[in-house]
C-alpha cells in the first residue's frame, strides 16, 4: 500500500513502516504533496493544510492520519464527503500539553516571568516583596474539557495539592470523578468558584466563542485563565476588556485567535501589565512527544492496513477498532 507523508518521519517510524508499505516522503513541500497524492492510499499529515485542492487530486486516498491531536489543518468534512477516513494521534501530545499547563499555572501564580524581568532590570532590592505569589495547594481548579489533556492536568495539579477539581464536559466522566474526586459543574459555576480555569476543549461550532465577557466577568478575585485548547474558545476582545477592567485577573495562553499572533494584537500589547503569559502554540512540541506521535501514527497506519480500522477516528467514515493495541513500545532516548 502506498503511504505518503507530508513531512519526514523520525527514524523509529520509518523503520516500523520499512518493507511493509511503499513510503514516499514529500519533505514538507506542498508542491510535492500535490504531485504525489494522486497515487497515495494513505496520507500521514503533519501541519500542512490538507484542503479540497489537494483532495481533488487524491483519487485513491482512503485514510489521513494526523501527526497531532488537532485536525484543524485537515478539511475533515470534505474528506468525509469523499469517503476518506480521518484519524488523529493525541496520546503523546496530551502528556506534553498537560505538563505545559502545569508550567503556565506555576509561572503565573508564582510570578516567575515578572521575577525574571525584575531581576535583569535591577529592581531586586526595592520591589522584591511586590512579587509575592500564591501556591497551587488549596486551590480550586476548573477544567473545560475533561479529555486526555484535562485528566492529565487535573492529576498533576492534584499532586501539587489542589483542593477541588470542577469540570465541564459533554458527558459525565464517572471514572475521573472517582479517581480524582472531580465534580461536574456548569460553566457558570466553574468561572464563579475556580482559582484556576483551564480551557482544553477542541474547536467546534459549539465551542467557538464559548468563553465570553459574561463568563469572564464572573471570575473570582485573583483567578487565572489558561487556554491550551484552541484560540477560538475565548473571545479575545472580551478577554482584553476584562484585563483592562480588573487588575486581579491573570491569563496564560498557548493558543491564539490568529497564529502567529500579531505584535499589535490587544493581548500582546497588554503583556506589559505582567499579568499575561503568551506562548507560541508549542505546548505539545517536545522532542519526545513529536517522536512518539509519529511512531504511533505509523502504528495506526499498519493497524488500518491489517484490520481496516483505526483507534482514533475523527469522522464517521472510519471504522473504529474494538481493541486498542499496546501503544507504547520502546522508544530510544
Whole-angstrom distance, CA of residue 144 vs CA of residue 149? 10
pLDDT of residue 333: 44
Number of helices followed by number of strands (H, E) in the chain: 14, 12
Q: How many CA atoms lie within 13 A of 165 on its CB side?
A: 27
Q: What is the pLDDT of residue 186?
A: 97
Residue 326's pLDDT is what? 64
Taking the C-alpha atoms of residue 122 and residue 22, their distance in angstroms, rounded to an integer, is 60
What are the chain's domains? 2-88+287-307 (3.40.50.720), 94-278 (3.40.50.720)
In the residue annotation, 281 being an active-site residue is answered as yes
Answer yes or no: are the C-beta atoms of 210 and 232 closer than 8 Å: no
* pTM of full prediction above 0.85: yes
Output the tens digit of pLDDT for each of the chain's 333 residues. 999 999 999 999 999 999 999 999 999 999 999 999 999 999 999 989 999 999 999 999 999 999 988 898 999 999 999 999 999 998 889 999 999 999 999 999 999 998 898 888 887 766 656 788 999 999 999 999 999 999 999 999 999 999 999 999 999 999 999 999 999 999 999 999 999 999 999 888 899 999 999 999 999 999 999 999 999 999 999 999 999 999 999 999 999 999 999 999 999 999 888 899 999 999 999 999 999 999 999 999 999 999 999 999 999 999 999 877 665 554 544
- Measure the CA–CA gap between 282 and 228, rounded to whole angstroms: 10
Q: How far is CA 161 from the centre of its chain?
A: 24
pLDDT at position 11: 94
What CA–CA distance (Å, rounded) separates 331 from 289? 11
What pLDDT does 118 receive?
A: 85
Nearest 5°: CA angle at 265, between 264 and 269? 70
DSSP for 281-293, written as a single string = S-TT--HHHHHHH
Instruction: Specify the DSSP class assigned to residue 73.
Output: T
DSSP class of residue 48? S
pLDDT reported for residue 211? 97
Question: How confident is the model at residue 267, as a pLDDT?
Answer: 92
Q: Which of 148, 281, 291, 299 is catalytic?
A: 281
Amino acid at each position: 500500500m502506498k503511504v505518503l507523508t507530508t513531512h519526514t518521519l523520525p527514524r523509529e517510524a520509518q523503520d516500523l513502516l520499512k518493507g511493509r508499505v511503499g513510503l514516499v516522503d514529500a519533505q514538507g513541500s506542498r508542491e510535492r504533496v500535490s504531485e504525489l497524492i494522486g497515487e497515495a492510499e494513505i496520507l500521514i499529515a503533519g501541519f500542512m493544510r490538507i484542503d479540497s485542492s489537494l483532495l481533488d487530486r487524491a483519487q485513491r486516498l482512503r485514510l489521513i492520519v494526523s501527526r497531532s491531536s488537532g485536525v484543524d489543518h485537515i478539511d475533515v468534512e470534505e474528506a468525509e464527503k469523499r469517503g476518506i477516513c480521518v484519524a488523529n494521534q493525541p496520546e503523546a501530545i496530551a502528556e506534553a500539553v498537560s505538563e505545559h499547563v502545569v508550567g503556565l499555572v506555576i509561572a503565573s501564580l508564582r510570578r516567575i516571568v515578572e521575577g525574571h524581568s525584575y531581576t535583569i532590570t535591577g529592581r531586586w532590592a526595592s520591589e522584591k516583596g511586590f512579587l509575592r505569589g500564591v501556591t497551587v495547594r488549596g486551590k480550586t481548579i476548573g477544567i473545560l474539557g475533561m479529555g486526555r489533556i484535562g485528566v492529565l492536568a487535573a492529576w498533576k495539579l492534584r499532586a501539587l495539592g489542589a483542593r477541588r477539581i470542577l469540570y465541564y464536559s459533554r458527558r459525565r466522566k464517572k471514572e475521573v470523578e472517582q479517581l480524582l474526586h472531580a465534580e461536574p459543574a456548569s460553566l457558570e459555576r466553574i468561572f464563579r468558584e475556580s482559582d484556576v480555569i483551564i480551557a482544553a476543549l477542541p474547536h467546534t461550532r459549539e465551542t467557538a466563542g464559548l468563553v465570553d465577557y459574561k463568563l469572564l466577568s464572573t471570575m473570582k478575585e485573583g483567578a487565572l485563565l489558561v487556554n491550551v485548547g484552541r484560540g477560538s474558545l475565548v473571545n479575545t476582545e472580551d478577554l482584553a476588556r476584562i484585563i483592562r477592567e480588573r487588575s486581579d485577573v491573570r491569563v496564560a495562553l498557548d493558543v491564539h485567535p490568529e497564529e502567529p499572533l500579531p505584535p499589535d494584537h490587544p493581548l500582546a500589547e497588554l503583556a506589559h501589565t505582567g499579568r499575561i503569559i503568551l506562548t507560541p502554540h508549542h505546548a505539545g512540541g517536545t522532542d519526545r512527544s513529536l517522536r512518539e506521535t509519529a511512531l504511533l501514527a505509523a502504528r495506526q497506519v499498519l493497524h488500518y492496513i491489517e484490520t481496516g480500522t483505526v483507534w482514533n477516528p475523527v469522522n464517521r467514515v472510519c471504522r473504529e477498532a474494538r481493541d486498542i493495541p499496546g501503544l507504547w513500545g520502546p522508544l530510544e532516548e
